[in-house]
Structure 1
Amino acid sequence: MLFAARVQDIMWALYAVTAFTGLASAFPQPLLGNGLTRRANEEKAGLGVELELGKVTIEGKKNIKPEERQSVKGAKIIPLNFKPPPMTNWVLTAEVTADDTLRIYTEAIVDGTKNKVGDHKTSSIGEEVFKYFDAWAPCSKSKCMVQIEGHDNLGPWEVKWPADPPKVETLKFDPQVTTAVPMEGIQKLLADWKTKVPSDKNALVGSPGSNAKELKILRQDDFKSFTKIKPSDVDAEFLGAFTLLTAYATLAHTSNKQDGPKKIIPIMPRTDFVTLYSKYVEPKIKSQLGDKTTLLQIVQKISGQKGDIAKQVFTWTGNDKATKPKENWDGRDADLKSGKLEVQKFLGHLQGDDKGANKLDLVKLMDKTLRNGQIGGLGDKLEQTGTNKVAPLFELRELAPIQGADLGKKLGEFEDKVIAYYAGKFDNN
């Protein structure tokens, strides 16, 4: 959902900066996943939602090249001979499957730069999405054509529905949510994921996955052997940040060439690890680090891993011809060529030099160079959570599918849960 987007809607008028440039541009900027662009500081956090509808596919001319298919990702879809119902802060776009088929399908993107947590409009947007597809579906009885903006050369584009006529109320939409989440909320989401809490108890928890059994939810006692870390500092916020960091380090070996580390856990940080570490972790372990202890040693100890995690690797598809980032690190070119990054290198550069300076998020830089820059792609972005606190942004993935008839209800539950987290209510009652 990241680049090559051609969404020429009102969203393009947003003053936004992509994760790749960091510079203001007068040109339309692509959506950064779930309708989020790099946003200026705001009083309210946004709530972006991606609703993938894989059963409604789109076919263009024959023999479209793989790179041409990829270029369609994120482009705006305009149904022909169809007067759409209202669309409040969302847009219909094209998505492409991650497998070798590169099948093009539809998704609705709720714009997180406009849809704000606490405005209580997310539910009505979900209802709009359902009404839109329900009104559009009868075109399945004849040739159902669309325009994909910026890609007329690959058309004409025809929509293929799963049935004639399709029952939109039973079609399943696969959701993802991007919003600011307090670190206490991240700790709770990871714990709920590990213990397989169902989505009707926590709407934001990812579906059970094989990696959950390897995930360790950190507790205060895990830090006892590090005597210069104050027990009072090991609070829920600190534990959420450290559990997330440790999860990426210990589960790095589960990443793969196709997805990179994106699917290690169903929580992907859009704010980078340097910001997470500097704000939530480093201030509370600084005395321990000054005692000739490394971040790697702390992670190794508290993780409970029997094997050495230092040489475990994050994996992407290597590319020695990719445009190299301006940031340099030891073995950078070899890492990019192989598509492999050792955990010890990731944690070492995250910790920085002897003075804690010159920190780098190598996972972000590798992902930006070799894939699509989603992990940490929003840099140091933090948003207000309705109190005096700010929180980093995360993409919450692998959420339970939603039937069309339930879109309004379920999207409302997403917002309600985020509001509860902002109020410090982290239980599932």
Structure 2
Amino acid sequence: MTIGKRVSQRTRGVKAKTTILYGFLSLAIVLVAILGWIIPAFTQQVVTVSVLMHAPEAAEWKPSVEEFHQTHPNIRIEVIEGPNDADQREDLYTSSFLLGNSPYDLVFMDVTWASKFAAAGWLMDLSDRLSPEQLSAFLEGDVNGGRYQGKLYRIPLRSDAGMLYYRKDLLEQAGYEPPETFAELVEISRSLQQQGLVDWGYLWQGKQYEGLSAMFVEILKGYGGFWVDPQTLEVGLDRPEAIQAVQFLRSTIEKGISPPGTTTYTEEETRLLFQNGKAAFLRNWPYVFSLAAQEGSAIIGKYGIKPMVHAPGRDSGACQGGWGLGIAKTSQHPDEAWKVIEFLTSEEIQRKFILATGKVPSLKSLFNDPTVVAKYPHYPQLLEVIENAALRPPIAQYAQASDILQRYLSAAIANRLSPEKAMKAAADETRRLLNR
């Protein structure tokens, strides 16, 4: 074999080895690329975001949670079921935060909890999570209920507000328009009672509990008064307007417009009396509307809703209620928790939730949404009511302040103390609380 042939064979061998090497390298690159895409897809850790709710609420949100899981495969929402009593759930959240290792990422909270939790440093500031335009889509009172010292800690999930229910049929029969003032409410109540059309004129919640404080802020605003100014911490419970508000409530019992048992009534006692056709007017929450329309109700198609009555020249007040979501400061997954909030408060999900449950949305657009109105024709009226929000004071010591008000207000309406003495004592004790 000549030298030229040996060189040619060696060259072809090198080329063949090079081709094979390049083939292996190309295959390796392709395999690395495939594995680089497949492995993270199978090994990426699923983040669990936990929240505490009571069982009925958890059941209502279950379809939304399942839909979230379908669109967010790497985030799981763990709903921990707590007691039905809201105070007990608040205590569970509080205890977990005090222990310093809370298991909750999201905090599902009543409007009155936000200031307490924020003041204690348990919640993340969400002020930069939404633009002013995005925030303006929510009910103003609901948003303000989630603020503390100018910062936002709670995003509204579903709303609530106190309102006045009235018997349309009886007012039309007697030739009355729905009342606008406290005096008109009393006049119409007396007239309908004297005609034997109803047993009672006006039903409200007078038991010593949080519902008493909620009801009272509406009457207080209707007289132009205030409870506590959250900016200055000035207390207004012993001012003339507050005393007038107490005198009005007490007078309804003294005049027989409201039942003697009012001092023991909560929402349900008053709802049942109204639903059974025993009264002309009822102060209560939106949930009554659907229940009073169910089979067995004595007033199906006979009632309407309107903003609470007020004194001449004053504004109506609807106590702001409702529930929202915050993010625990101890959460290890704040961004994932925020994705949950964004999803559950979106217009599409809220629409589905409202249509399924009849609850009150936190987004203003849904009150006039054609699909919602087709099922709940009273929602545009409900928006009119709920936009007249009256907030319970967003202060860190709200729970203690409410307890003080409940005790002295209860004593006044039960005729154990005069309105003047009761409110003076309530104001003094509240000032001591705030100055500690």
For the pair shown, which has the larger CA radius of gyration, 1 or 2? Answer: 2
Asked if TM exceeds 0.5, the reply is: no
Tell me the TM-score range normalised by the shorter chain.
under 0.3
Question: Normalization by structure 1: what TM-score?
Answer: 0.27
Higher helix share: 2
